[in-house]
Amino acid sequence: MSEAFAGLDTPRLLLDADRLERNAARMAGRCAELGVTLRPHLKTAKSVHVARIACSGAPGPITVSTLAEAEYFAAAGWRDILYATAMAPAKLERASRIGREFGAELRLVLDDAAAASALGAAAGGARFGVLLEVDCGEHRSGVAPASPALGAMAAAVASTPALRLDGVMTHAGHSYASDDPVGIRAIAEAERHAAVSSAEALRAAGHPCPIVSVGSTPTVLFADHLRGVTEARAGIYLFNDLAQLSRGVCTEADLAVSVLAAVIGHQRSGPSLVLDAGALALSKDLGANRFLPGTQYGWVCDPTTLARLGTLSVEPVHQEHGTVPVPDEGWFERWPVGSVVRILPNHACLTCAAYGSYDVLRGGAVRERWPRIGGW
Amino acid sequence: MSEAFAGLDTPRLLLDADRLERNAARMAGRCAELGVTLRPHLKTAKSVHVARIACSGAPGPITVSTLAEAEYFAAAGWRDILYATAMAPAKLERASRIGREFGAELRLVLDDAAAASALGAAAGGARFGVLLEVDCGEHRSGVAPASPALGAMAAAVASTPALRLDGVMTHAGHSYASDDPVGIRAIAEAERHAAVSSAEALRAAGHPCPIVSVGSTPTVLFADHLRGVTEARAGIYLFNDLAQLSRGVCTEADLAVSVLAAVIGHQRSGPSLVLDAGALALSKDLGANRFLPGTQYGWVCDPTTLARLGTLSVEPVHQEHGTVPVPDEGWFERWPVGSVVRILPNHACLTCAAYGSYDVLRGGAVRERWPRIGGW
């Protein structure tokens, strides 16, 4: 048992606050250099402690992915919140309570002219700022940039008293399909151009468009410039993970989140170590394997140094078991039942979601526990 | 909006109690017919309400996968609990509290002779019944049946005052690798034989072996007989899922768990419906696709009848977005923004883990909310 983790149950989610603070400062500096406001996406962290670090100490503009997050951050003092998942009209009453109860401004995204009138009908006296979503190439959501569909949405918003047109937004999620800086840079430029050209089209048609919002961790870090953009959204940069590492977006020293796991068995037919971190503790995301083959469900690392143990990975996982093939039974002596390892996960957003809190490391030792919000 | 679900936020986990009760009764009847005690595995359900149904109304023998589950069920009155994940010595103090505080008998599994003495050293005055785990072919954990390693474990337990040898257990997790009833039946017989031959070897060596425990939903349902076995463990049969359906283990009418999701967008480049149920709401498990290609992250179903809508599936998922390719834009009129669908998941254990409660259907309408326990 590593002394630093004595007394901690396993599996447990560890967050290295020293790395987190470096990651946050790097992105804040990057956005200052690009001349845009940073609006961190807190769907990964879901924690007010992390949000304070991401916002340089005081509540600033943030992005969320669920109304549960919006309520949690509003209750903790955040006042400028973009809910970046498209809105179902049935959720509008809950959304309007966030304004009434906390005085927070919750902005919505919209990518459908028909939805504008449905939202207007359901708003019940509340008024929301909206960002029109454009599709810069991922094809998940949004309308074509500077398109007739964008103009139709703007007109629908303008004729809906419950809505106020605040700008445009786009998200280059397809930046994850590349591990090539040149390719990511091209996607960043396409993302910027989609947003800026749409803003220009709206303004030319007489609509206001104060906010021009883009973002993903790879594109914000790799963009040549963001001229015409007013704000950048990114989230995973706070923690990073093997999926980011595999795409060249961060280094191993930037990986802030890991799972503490105990060796609970030695399987001689294999041979393999058996850990108490399986599919629930790690998630079944395999996102790093495309560019880092052999990562499987995560790297198995020394608990103190976080250096990978040889080329060990977790594979396969069951609900509460993680199996780690080892080259020979000599590993059983070095890693006896009861010893602990740390797992670097593929995808921090999904791994963290299984836990109710972070055990927070400073100088390599657990100093605090920070709660996080889950659910919807 | 389907009237039955008006006022429910999405995404939401629905549990059809009528189906659950039928599934529970079927397995109870099956175990009675086989002449074995049913010890339901509650790692899927994690709910006292479900556990009462699984145990025919009153607390009976159960299986759990985490100490959090053990504590939760012990606090609710369960007294005979098998913790079926191998034990790290550091968890023993917490385990012993379950006996002290609730008077519950928590049995442990063991597959390593060296771990017996480590557990003995950490027991601190408590005494635990243990089942020795044998490997019937999955090679995840356990020692070879009736092997010298098994005898060595029994001897280690006999010489450790903190431990008491209560029997043997095995789990044919590899039954999931087949969708052929003949193949599953053969695996069931191998599972039975591994446990029974091990029990006989222990008894021949003078050890007690009152409990002979086997189980997985497919093998318990398909076994020709379980002679020599005293108890069967199974869990997913309570809910079933597409992974079970894909292996011929249940029918569509037995699928008790689904996710209620709202349409939040229409993506014309595709075309596709966009749902507010993504990777967190469904999990990234793809377990049904091996035998049901095209299932992707789950079937998209009518909210009232739970009949699949054409051949619609969720693919791809992002954290809070599920994309559902549709044949043509005519689907947009039938499923407008704000309408709801139900998703049948691949793997109920992982999907349910994202939620803090079940919304419980009886006669097709939500009647209750049942909490569930998460974490570790």
* A314: CATH: 2.40.37.20
ipTM: 0.96
Tell me, yes or no, if A89 comes closer than 8 A to chain B by beta carbon: yes
- A65/chain B closest Cα distance in angstroms: 7
- Of B238, B262, B297, the residue that ends a domain is B238
- Of B213, B238, B263, the residue that ends a domain is B238
Residues of B in contact with A42 (CB under 8 A): none
The answer to whether residues A71 and A32 belong to one domain is yes
Tell me, yes or no, if A127 comes closer than 8 A to chain B by beta carbon: no
The answer to whether residues A136 and A285 belong to one domain is no
Tell me, yes or no, if A327 comes closer than 8 A to chain B by beta carbon: no
Residues of A in contact with B267 (CB under 8 A): 135, 139-141
Nearest to B321 among A140, A280, A337 (CB): A140
Token pair listed for B258: 């689904």
Residues of A in contact with B268 (CB under 8 A): 143, 149
pLDDT above 70 for B286: yes
Q: What is the mean pLDDT of residues B155-162?
A: 97
Beta bridge pairs of residue B341: B261
Confidence of residue B269 (pLDDT cuts 50, 70, 90): confident
Beta bridge pairs of residue A317: A322
Of residues B7 and B132, more confidence is placed in B132
The answer to whether residues A120 and A257 belong to one domain is no
Can you give chain A as a three-state secondary structure string?
CCHHHCCCCCCEEEEEHHHHHHHHHHHHHHHHHHCCEECCECCCCCCHHHHHHHCCCCCCCEEECCHHHHHHHHHCCCCEEEECCCCCHHHHHHHHHHHHHHCCEEEEEECCHHHHHHHHHHCCCCCEEEEEEECCCCCCCCECCCCHHHHHHHHHHHCCCCEEEEEEECCCHHHHHCCCHHHHHHHHHHHHHHHHHHHHHHHHCCCCCCEEEECCHHHHHHCCCCCCCCEECCCHHHCCCHHHHHCCCCCHHHCCEEEEEEEEEEECCCCEEEECCCHHHHCCCCCCCCCCCCCCCCEEECCCCCCEEEEEECCCECCCCEEEECCCCHHHHHCCCCCEEEEECCCHHHHHCCCCEEEEEECCEEEEEEECCCCC
CB spacing of A263 vs B349 below 8 angstroms: no
Q: Is B357 domain-assigned? A: yes
The answer to whether residues A259 and A210 belong to one domain is no
Range of the domain at B338: 3-13+250-371
Q: What is the pLDDT of residue B106?
A: 97
Of chain B residues 181-220, which have a CB less than 8 A from chain A? none
Q: Which residues contact B69 (CB under 8 A, 6 or more apart)?
A: B42, B43, B46, B373
Identify from A5, A9, A153, A266 which residue to disrupt to test chain B contact, counting B C-beta atoms within 10 A and taking the largest count.
Answer: A9
The answer to whether residues A198 and A268 belong to one domain is no
The answer to whether residues B338 and B305 belong to one domain is yes
Nearest to A140 among B118, B280, B318 (CB): B318
Residues of B in contact with A85 (CB under 8 A): 264, 276, 320-321
Q: Is B244 domain-assigned? A: no
The answer to whether residues A42 and A80 belong to one domain is yes
Q: Is B243 domain-assigned? A: no
- Model confidence over B201-239: pLDDT tens digits? 999 999 999 999 999 999 999 999 999 999 999 999 999
Q: What is the mean pLDDT of residues B182-201?
A: 97
Residue A232, classed as helix, strand or coil, is strand
Residues of A in contact with B281 (CB under 8 A): 376
d(CA A373, CA A71) in angstroms, rounded, equals 10
Tell me, yes or no, if B177 comes closer than 8 A to chain A by beta carbon: no
The answer to whether residues B129 and B224 belong to one domain is yes
Residues of B in contact with A290 (CB under 8 A): none
Nearest to B264 among A85, A284, A337 (CB): A85
Peptide bond before residue A325 is cis, with ω within 30 degrees of 0:
no
Residues A98/A74, Cβ–Cβ less than 8 Å: yes
Q: What is the pLDDT of residue B250?
A: 97
Q: What is the pLDDT of residue A1?
A: 46
The answer to whether residues B277 and B336 belong to one domain is yes
Q: Is A232 domain-assigned? A: yes
- Model confidence over B168-179: pLDDT tens digits? 999 999 998 889
Tell me, yes or no, if B281 comes closer than 8 A to chain A by beta carbon: yes
Number of compact structural domains in chain B:
2
What pTM was estimated for this model as a whole?
Answer: 0.97
The answer to whether residues A271 and A183 belong to one domain is no
pLDDT in tens, chain A (376 residues): 467 888 789 999 999 999 999 999 999 999 999 999 999 999 999 999 999 999 999 899 999 999 999 999 999 999 999 999 999 999 999 999 999 999 999 999 999 998 998 999 988 899 999 999 999 999 999 999 999 999 999 999 999 999 999 999 999 999 988 899 999 999 999 999 999 999 999 999 999 999 999 999 999 999 999 999 999 999 999 999 999 999 999 999 999 999 999 999 999 988 999 999 999 999 999 999 999 999 999 999 999 999 999 999 999 999 999 999 999 999 999 999 999 999 999 999 999 999 999 999 999 999 999 999 999 9
Q: What is the mean pLDDT of residues B325-350?
A: 97
- Of B180, B206, B238, the residue that ends a domain is B238
Write the DSSP string, B247-271.
TTSS-GGG--EEEEEEEEEEETTTT
The answer to whether residues A200 and A294 belong to one domain is no
Q: Is A184 domain-assigned? A: yes
Q: Is A191 domain-assigned? A: yes
Q: Is B110 domain-assigned? A: yes
The answer to whether residues B234 and B276 belong to one domain is no
Q: Is A107 domain-assigned? A: yes
Residues B141/A274, Cβ–Cβ less than 8 Å: yes
Tell me, yes or no, if B354 comes closer than 8 A to chain A by beta carbon: yes
Mean model confidence pLDDT for chain B? 96
Q: What is the pLDDT of residue A2?
A: 60
Identify the closest residue of chain A to B317 by CA–CA distance.
A140
Residues of A in contact with B285 (CB under 8 A): 279, 284
* A180: CATH: 3.20.20.10
